[in-house]
Structures are given as structure tokens and as C-alpha cells.
Chains A and B, each alone.
Chain A
Amino acid sequence: MENLLITILLTSIPILLAGLGELVTEKSGVLNLGVEGMMLCGAVAALGSVLIFGNPYIGILFGAVAGILISTVFSFFTITLMTNQVATGLGLTIFATALTGLIGEPFVGKTAASLPKLEIIFLSDIPYLGKILFSNDILVYFAIFLIFFIHFGFQNTKLGIIIRAVGDNHDSAHSIGYSVKLVRWISTSFGGMCAGMGGAYIPLALTPHWSEGMTAGKGWIALALVVFASWMPIRLLIGALIFGGITILQFVAQARGWDVPSQFLNMLPYLATILALALISFKLKHNNYAPACLGKHFLGNK
């Protein structure tokens, strides 16, 4: 049981990290559909750097930097050149899937070192909870920290409130003197960094091998989770854990020998995403939490 809960937590980390980043990006009014692509960049950069340097922490760094770099391509086109965000995000995913396929080819069949578990003294000795919560790798702690950081950041810090202002009404934010485009660049880069780290987590902790398109739709699920969480970081954790649980269900079913074709079990995360989106849209039919300027261009001439 303990192991099961730990596995669920670990499985949810890539979606959680990517979702948190996308949440910040979307709060600033930018819809980046390239999360899947940015995660792949993070994954391949992490794996490659670990194979070269042998240190998994370097992998996190490279994953984050790769995420930021690829997100600047998106920022340049959508924020500076004002291209359509949906299509550019799609383009980014197509581009990054191919690019990482090309870069990752030499890594096929090689195994990367995993992130070590860090036990927190005293806390990890608490029965049950200690094992589950306080003896994990650094990115787990970081992801949990990030939830609260973003939550309080949006509530209590000036930067958080500026980001929200830019996302909810860019004209007003501009008229009081904030640079809408700069804020969006920063938020999108933050999203790229988180997606890169989320992607990096896959080879560094879950499956230490490279395979083309290894994120298998996790980036898209993260995008859906942001909607499901109504742009609230703490709800994102709940959503990510549910998805971790659903993904793990396949392995439980296999281990227990349930007589369900594996394909149907593999479908569950995707079907659950659709169901979650439908349920949340049903509930919020008249109360939309989405940032008001999400996906809208800012000319910046006024």
C-alpha cells in the first residue's frame, strides 16, 4: 500500500510540474499548447546531459534550460509577432517532437542514472507518512513547494498580481505602465522551465530510457488539468494525483490479473481527461475562472 501511494505520487509529478508552469503562463493571458513539446525537450536534454555528466542533478538543470529555450521560440512568435497561439503551440509540439526524436536517437538503449532519494531527518521516520512524503527525490519536494509558492505568489506578491492583471485585462495593465509583453515573456518562460523539469522527471525518475515521444500525451493532460483545476494550484495537485492513480491502475490490474484488455486500461487517462473536462465545464457553466485575456493578442500601440 505504501509503495502504491508513493508510485502514484511519483507518476503525477511530470503532469503536476508541467501543469503548474502552464497555469502561470495562462494566468498571464498566454495559451501555450506546446507543453507536450516542451516536456519532450526537457526529457531529452535531461537524459543526454546525465549520460554525458553522470549526475542527475545536472539533468534537472539542462531540462529546465531546454524548456526555457524552446518556450522562447513560442514567445517570439506569439507575443512579439502576434501569431495565432493555438496554431503556434501545435507547431511547437510538432517541431519539438521531431527535434527530440533526432537528438534522442543516439540515446536509445542507454540507461540514465536516477535521482537519489533524499530522506528528511526525523520526518521520514514517521510511520507510513514519513515513507510516502519525506523520503523522495528533490523534484517531488520542489513540485510541492511550487504549489504553495505559486498559490501565495498570486495572492500576496506584487509580481503575482501584475501577472494576473496582465492576463485579465491587458489594456488596463498597459495603461498603468506595465509592459504586457515582457510579463508574458517571463510567464511563458517560467511555464517552459516547469514543463522542461516535468519532462526531465520522466527519464530521471520514472523510465530511464529514451523513446521517441516518451511523454505520451502527458503535456496535453497537463493542459487539461489546468482547466480542471480552474487555474488554482492546489486543485492542480488533486487533479494530478487522480491522474497518477488512474495511470497506476493499469499496473495494478496487470499485477492482479484482471481480465481487461490492456488497451482499455491504457485508454483510461485519456478518457478520464475528457470526463474531467466535461464535468468541470458542466459545473462552471456560468462561472468561468479562465483569465479574461487568455489567448488574446496585445498590440501595444496605445
Chain B
Amino acid sequence: MIEFTPRKIQSSFWTILSPIISITMTILIGSLIFKILSYPVIESLYQVFVSPFSRPDRIADIFVKACPLIIIGLGLIFCFKANIWNIGAEGQFILGALCAGSFALLFPETKTYTLLFSMFLIGFVGGAIWASIPAILKVRLNVNEILVSLMLVYVAMLFIDFVVRGPLRDPMSFGFPLSKVYPDGAIISKVDFPFIGFLGQFHYGIFITLILCPLIWFFINKTLPGFQIKIFGSSARASEFAGFNKNKITIYVLLVSGGLSGVAGVIEVSANMGRLQPEVSFGYGFTAIIVAFLGRLNPYGVVIAGIIIATAKLGADNAQMVLGIPKVVTGIFEGMLLFFLLAGETIQKYKISIRKDN
């Protein structure tokens, strides 16, 4: 019989080691899956994990892909640290993009970047409002936030679909469900590197992650609200005895997380699409959950995790083109990775020994 004894001290070494082991295990089992599906194993692994690094513009595109994942993941740190399960980041992302986009389209001739800054604000508010629905229901009626936030993803997807096919549809779009193109002041431009020029789709929005990451690290580790969130998450009872207001924390973490997802939506659309369309997110909100876990709920960890997952996503695109492997395989990898990471958490928390039954 397997026996679990809680550890008194959790090793920090394991915190770093466990994601590495998890990734290795995922790759091993992933190879097995490729083998079963009779795809060439080495070539498949090369396409998924190495080919995105093969050219400078491809490397740049990794960061482009990682940007929304990292920003949403940074927001999810707040929720998951507080043990609040916001799994509706996808919907908050869409709402942020939609609110900011609708606002931008009201000022078609604007060239100044004041517009872009107001869009960030509006996107944040849009995402936060969407997240406030599960927050308020949770606090007022103790409704499960997992189900509400998830249901709102479907609602948000249908809502943006309605908007771009209805009120915001560009009359010149030849029947395609697309909005008008954003004004210049609402577009995040690509970075023109000195001597090199443009690299892939690398845009200025990516630098926002560089600002957000240390800010959030500081907030969570060095401030009182950050401390309250951590205590609330690890022991709700202890936090109650300490006099922390649990309702305030619940609402706060959901609003921040929803808001950051909204900002991610603004950046994604303003930098890569330049107009609204029915599909603005490609599952970023769900993938970011894996990113947050892989990053061990640490802001710097989330940045690294975002880059790793983005690499695999781009790699899967390449694998589909070169080898015809359907790119849904990344979902299989993501699921397995999450399983292994969670199992790693158990090993970190408990000492496992095997005992003979008497």
C-alpha cells in the first residue's frame, strides 16, 4: 500500500525540478503517441520543439504567440494563489478585445496613441466586468465560480460573433464577418529593429509583459494585499482569523485576472488583426491555465512557461504543414503536462513510501 506523509518543509529545489521532469515525461509519452500514430518520432519532435528556433523571424513569432499567454497567465496567478478557479479567461479576453475594439471604431480618423491607451483601459474594464459576474455571484450567493466563468466563455464567443456579423460589420467586407479596420491610432505597430528591420510579427505590445512581470512579482511577494491573497489561498480559516475580508479578496483577484485577460485581448487584436472578427482568441484563455501552472504561479516562471508553450504551439503548426500531424496534438501535450505537474505537487507536499499491508 502506498503511504503519504505530509512534509513539514517543502523543498524549493523541487519547485524548479518538477516542471523540468514534467516536460520530459510529456515529451517521452508524446513520442510514444507519435509512434502509435505512425509519424516519424524524431522528425515530429524536431518540428514541435526545435523548428520554431530555426530562423530569427520564427523566434520573434514565439514571443508574439507567448504575449497573450503570459499576460493572461500573470492574471491567473492572482486567482489560483487565492484558490479561486477562474477558468473563463477566454471569455474575458474576448470581452476586452470587443469593448476596446468597439471604442476604437467610434473614432475612425484618430492617429494619436491616446486612443490606444484608452483602449487598454477600456479593455481592462471590459474583461474585469465579465469576471465580475462570477465574482459577485460567488460572494453574494456562493455560486461556483468555475461553472459561471466557463459558461460566460460560450456567451462571449456568441456575443462577438453577433457583433461582427451585425452592428459592427464592415459594409465593404463582401459579406465576411469582419469589422472595419482600426484607425491608425489603435494599431500596435511592429518593432523596426535597428539594422535588422522587422522580425516576424514582433510588436511593441510584447514589451508590456516585461513591465507587468516584475510589477506583479513585487505586488504578490512584497505587499500586504499580495500576502493576504496567498494566506487566503493556502488556508481560508487562517485568513479569517487574521481578519482578512474574504469577499474583498475574491472580487479583487477575479477583477485583476479578468482585466489582464482583457488587456491581452486588446493587444492581440490591435497588433495582429487590426480589426474585429468572430475568432479573436485561439484558446489562449485555456492554454494560459497550463502556463500559470507550469510557471508554478510565479510571475517569472509564467514568462518562461509562456515561451515554452508558445514554442510548442508554433512547432505544432509547422508539424502540421510538414508532416500532416493535426495540430490538436498540442492539447494532448498540454493535458499531460498538467497531469504531471499536479502529480509533482503531490510529491512536493507528501513523502511517499510503500508499506506492506498486514
- Once bound together, how far apart are the Cα atoms of A91 and B6, in whole Å? 25
- Chain A residues, Cβ within 8 Å of B346: 81-83
Interface pair A98/B154, CB less than 8 Å apart: no
Check if A99 sits within 8 Å of B143, measured CB to CB.
no
Cβ-defined partner of B142 (8 Å) among A94, A223, A224, A285: A285
Shortest beta-carbon distance, A43 to chain B, in Å? 15
Complex contact A101–B331 (CB within 8 A): yes
B85 touches A86 (CB 8 A): yes
Q: Are B339 and A91 in contact (CB under 8 A)?
A: yes
Task: Using CB atoms, name the residue of chain A closest to B325.
Answer: A102
1/0 per residue, CB under 8 A from B, across A74-85: the answer is 000100111110
Within 8 Å by CB of A102, from B137, B144, B326, B339, lies: B326
Q: Is the CB of A299 within 8 A of B4?
A: yes
Smallest Cβ-Cβ distance to A100: which chain B residue: B328
Chain B residues in 8 Å Cβ range of A94 = 286, 290, 331, 334-335, 338
| Cβ-neighbour of B331 out of A83, A87, A95, A274 (below 8 A) | A95
Residue among B143, B151, B290, B338 with max Cβ neighbours from chain A (10 Å): B151
Find out whether the CB atom of B328 lies under 8 angstroms from the CB atom of A102.
Answer: yes
Residues of B within 8 Å of A81, CB to CB, are: 342-343, 346
In the complex, the answer to whether A281 meets B142 with C-beta atoms within 8 Å is: yes
* B270 close to chain A: CB less than 8 A: no
**What residues of chain B lie closer than 8 Å to A33, measured between beta carbons?**
146
**Residues of chain B from 238 to 297 with CB closer than 8 A to chain A in the complex:** 286, 289-290, 293
Min C-beta distance of A245 to chain B, whole Å: 18
B332 CB–A CB distance under 8 Å: yes
Size class of the contact patch on chain A: 35 or more
Bitwise interface map of B from 60 to 103 toward A, beta carbon under 8 Å scored 1, else 0:
00000000000000000000000001010000000000000000
Q: Does A231 contact B (CB under 8 A)?
A: no
CB–CB A102/B147 < 8 A: no
A105 within 8 A of B: yes
Which of B2, B87, B326, B339 contacts A88 (CB under 8 A)?
A: B339
B143 touches A281 (CB 8 A): yes
Interface size on B, residues (CB 8 A): 49
Max chain A CB contacts within 10 Å: which of B133, B150, B161, B289?
B150
On whether the beta carbons of B342 and A102 are closer than 8 Å, the reply is no
- Answer yes or no: A97 CB below 8 A from chain B CBs: yes
Tell me the chain B residues, 303-357 only, with Cβ under 8 Å from chain A.
326, 328-332, 334-336, 338-339, 342-343, 345-346, 350
Query: Within 8 Å of chain B (Cβ to Cβ): is A270?
Result: yes
B107 within 8 A of A: no
* A262 → B minimal CB distance (Å): 8
A261 touches B166 (CB 8 A): yes
Q: Which residues of B contact A270 (CB under 8 A)?
A: 151-152, 154-155
Return the contact of B342 from the options A88, A98, A217 (Cβ within 8 A): A88
| Separation of A88 and B293 alpha carbons in the complex (Å) | 11
Task: Type the 1/0 row for A262-274, where 1 means its CB is closer than 8 Å to any CB of B.
Answer: 0110110011011
Q: Which residues of B contact A278 (CB under 8 A)?
A: 137, 141, 143
Is B3 an interface residue, CB under 8 A from the partner? yes
Contact partner, A98, options B3, B87, B166, B335, Cβ 8 Å: B335
Judged by a CB distance under 8 angstroms, whether A212 is at the interface is: yes
B343 closest partner in A (C-beta): A81
Whether B162 is near chain A, meaning CB under 8 Å from some CB there, is yes
Q: Which of A92, A216, A263 lies in contact with B161, CB distance below 8 A?
A: A263
B3 touches A301 (CB 8 A): yes
The answer to whether A83 and B339 have CB atoms under 8 Å apart is yes
Known contacts A94-B334, A98-B328; is A271 also within 8 Å of B155 by CB?
Answer: yes
Inter-chain contact B4/A82, CB cutoff 8 Å:
yes
A20-71 interface (Cβ within 8 A of B): 33
Given contacts A105-B326, A261-B166, A274-B137, contact A83 B342 (CB under 8 A): yes
Shortest Cβ distance from residue B234 to the other chain A in the assembled complex, whole angstroms: 13
Is B42 an interface position by the 8 A CB rule? no
A234 vs B80: C-alpha distance in the bound complex, in angstroms? 35
- For A223, list chain B residues within 8 Å (CB): 147
- Report Cα–Cα, A261/B331, bound state, in Å: 32
- Which one, B37, B143, B334, B343, contacts A277 given CB within 8 A? B143
Instruction: Supply 5 A–B pairs (Cβ within 8 Å), ascending by A.
Output: A98-B331, A217-B151, A220-B150, A224-B151, A274-B147
Residues of A within 8 A of B (CB): 33, 73, 77, 80-84, 86-88, 90-92, 94-99, 101-102, 105, 212, 216-217, 220, 223-224, 227, 261, 263-264, 266-267, 270-271, 273-274, 277-278, 281-282, 285, 299-301
